[in-house]
């Protein structure tokens, strides 16, 4: 009996120590990367007009960064830029600009990077080349229906019924749309900003993936595929960048004159309390994920509610502000390669290895498949 009590006490002590360490490791202040102090820290946030990206922008504004906000909805960007500058906790050094761009269009991406570089060069009295410390890739849209249900719905009301070729073509359009934003759009944006990141003492790319980027997710198959693709690309890019030649930084103080390799972190949140579901490419009504026309780009109206029941938990959603704080922490700590929010989701890759059927079952339950 005494032996049992001792074991229980030790187990409780170990669990408390573990939980205490986890809490401490998540909350302790981290040193910022070299070169990222106000008023010189430069940050580009892609997908900043709403949700997580918006919160990230507000938190960078509070620490005096020079921020570029990028998304398609013009008025949301303009009002966010004003809010960043006027927020009670805004740092006096904060500078915010915005650029309206659809990242699925390479012309928009090129124009964004060129406009940003030009404005930074013009402001720079000594004429040194533009430098980007942090690129936050937050833009994304979702899919919310089982693949078979969605593809079967094509041509449902057509007379005569739509041909297989027509149905495949329609599906292909939506697949290209989600991949064009969630994957190709983020890759080309990285390509456009990489030269500026390589001139920073420790350039950092933070990619917002998802828990769906690490495991199969029913009703989100296209979305999960686009997020898995990000891991394949950015995990490879990280290795290439580590081997890339270092740049000599003559403008920086002693000790920071050779750039560290640009580092990459993928952040995998669980469900966040944002409006993402309304962007779904596979909703029956015209999706908001489509490239909006000029009127839509200027619209501040909330999107209409989805016309179909969307599976997935409405409970225990993560707060965008708490996620944004974790994203900025991941941007500051160049050692982090992959971050799960909440932390205990880091077990996902391990369960995937040792008991994948359990993950399938949990995902089926979460998305109402069983």
**Interface residue with ligand NAP, options 203, 269, 287, 306 (CB under 6 A):** 269
**Interface residue with ligand NAP, options 132, 206, 225, 272 (CB under 6 A):** 272
Q: How far apart are CA 57 and CA 48, in angstroms?
A: 7
Q: Tokens in use for 305?
A: 């509610």
CB of 360 to ligand NAP, least distance (A): 19
Nearer to ligand NAP, 59 or 271 (CB): 271
Let me know: does 248 contact 28? Beta carbons within 8 Å.
no
**Interface residue with ligand NAP, options 190, 198, 274, 334 (CB under 6 A):** 274
Interaction with ligand NAP in 93-122: which residues (CB under 6 A)?
101-104
Nearer to ligand NAP, 185 or 201 (CB): 185
Nearer to ligand NAP, 102 or 133 (CB): 102
Residue 287 interacting with ligand NAP (CB under 6 A): no
Interaction with ligand NAP in 139-198: which residues (CB under 6 A)?
139-141, 181, 185
Whole-angstrom CA distances from 53 to 17, 23, 90, 126, 317 are 34, 25, 17, 32, 16
* Residue from 236, 131, 139, 232 nearest 189 by CA: 139
Interaction with ligand NAP in 22-51: which residues (CB under 6 A)?
47-51
Minimal CB distance to ligand NAP: which residue?
51
Nearer to ligand NAP, 157 or 301 (CB): 301
Interaction with ligand NAP in 305-324: which residues (CB under 6 A)?
none
43-79 residues labelled b (16+ CB within 10 A) or e (exposed): bbbbbbbbbbbbbbbbbbbebbbbbbbbbbbbebbbe
CB of 52 to ligand NAP, least distance (A): 4
Q: Binding marks (x or -) toward ligand NAP, 202..231, rule CB under 6 A?
A: ------x-x---------------------
Nearer to ligand NAP, 101 or 262 (CB): 101
What DSSP element (H or E) covers 134? strand 134-137
Let me know: does 68 contact 196? Beta carbons within 8 Å.
no
Residue 73 interacting with ligand NAP (CB under 6 A): yes
**Interface residue with ligand NAP, options 132, 178, 276, 310 (CB under 6 A):** 276
Let me know: does 135 contact 204? Beta carbons within 8 Å.
yes
Beta bridge partners of 98: 69
DSSP summary character for residue 34: T
**Interface residue with ligand NAP, options 224, 279, 287, 336 (CB under 6 A):** 279
Q: How far apart are CA 147 and CA 89, in angstroms?
A: 45
Sign of CA dihedral 237, 239, 240, 244: positive
Q: Which residue, chain included where needed, has tokens 């003492």? A: 201
Let me know: does 167 contact 151? Beta carbons within 8 Å.
yes
Nearer to ligand NAP, 199 or 297 (CB): 297
CB of 215 to ligand NAP, least distance (A): 12
CB of 271 to ligand NAP, least distance (A): 4
Interaction with ligand NAP in 50-69: which residues (CB under 6 A)?
50-53
Between CA 322 and CA 72, with CA 273 as vertex, the angle to 5 degrees is 95
Let me know: does 318 contact 343? Beta carbons within 8 Å.
no
Q: Which residue, chain included where needed, has tokens 């799960």? A: 340
Between CA 239 and CA 198, with CA 208 as vertex, the angle to 5 degrees is 45
Q: Tokens in use for 137?
A: 């890739």
DSSP-based three-state secondary structure for 128:
coil
Q: Tokens in use for 194?
A: 């990489």
**Interface residue with ligand NAP, options 113, 138, 339, 363 (CB under 6 A):** 138
Q: How far apart are CA 368 and CA 192, in angstroms?
A: 41
Residue 71 interacting with ligand NAP (CB under 6 A): yes
Binding region for ligand NAP (CB under 6 A) out of 31-39, 269-277, 350-358, 359-367 = 269-277
CB of 182 to ligand NAP, least distance (A): 7
Q: Which spans of this chain sit near ligand NAP (rule: CB under 6 A)? A: 47-53, 71-73, 76, 101-104, 138-141, 181, 185, 208, 210, 269, 271-272, 274-276, 279
């Amino acid at each position: 009996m005494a032996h049992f009590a001792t074991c229980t006490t030790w187990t409780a002590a170990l669990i408390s120590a573990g939980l205490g360490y986890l809490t401490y490791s998540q909350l302790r202040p981290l040193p910022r990367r070299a070169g990222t102090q106000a008023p010189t820290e430069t940050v580009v946030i892609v997908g900043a007009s709403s949700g997580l990206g918006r919160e990230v922008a507000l938190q960078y504004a509070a620490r005096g960064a020079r921020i570029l906000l990028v998304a398609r909805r013009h008025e949301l960007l303009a009002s966010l830029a004003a809010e960043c500058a006027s927020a009670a906790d805004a740092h006096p050094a904060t500078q915010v600009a915005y650029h309206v761009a659809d990242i699925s269009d390479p012309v928009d991406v090129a124009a964004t990077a060129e406009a940003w570089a030009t404005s930074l060069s013009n402001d720079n009295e000594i004429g040194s080349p533009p430098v980007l410390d942090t690129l936050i890739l937050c833009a994304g849209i979702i899919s919310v229906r089982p693949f078979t249900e969605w593809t079967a719905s094509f041509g449902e009301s057509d007379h005569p019924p739509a041909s297989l070729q027509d149905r495949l073509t329609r599906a292909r359009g939506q697949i290209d749309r989600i991949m064009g934003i969630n994957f190709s759009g983020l890759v080309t944006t990285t390509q456009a900003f990489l030269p500026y990141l390589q001139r920073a003492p420790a350039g950092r790319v933070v990619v917002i993936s998802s828990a769906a980027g690490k495991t199969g997710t029913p009703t989100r198959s296209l979305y999960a595929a686009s997020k898995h693709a990000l891991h394949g690309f950015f995990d490879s890019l990280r290795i290439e960048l580590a081997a890339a030649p270092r740049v000599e930084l003559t403008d920086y103080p002693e000790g920071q004159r050779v750039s560290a390799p640009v580092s990459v972190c993928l952040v995998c949140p669980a469900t966040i309390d944002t409006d993402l579901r309304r962007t779904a490419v596979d909703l029956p009504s015209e999706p908001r994920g489509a490239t909006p026309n000029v009127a839509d780009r200027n619209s501040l109206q909330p999107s209409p509610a989805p016309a179909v029941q969307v599976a997935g938990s409405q409970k225990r959603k993560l707060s965008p502000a708490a996620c944004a704080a974790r994203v900025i922490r991941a941007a500051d700590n160049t050692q982090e390669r992959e971050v799960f929010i909440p932390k205990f989701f880091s077990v996902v890759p391990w369960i995937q290895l040792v008991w994948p059927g359990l993950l399938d079952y949990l995902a089926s339950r979460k998305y109402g498949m069983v």
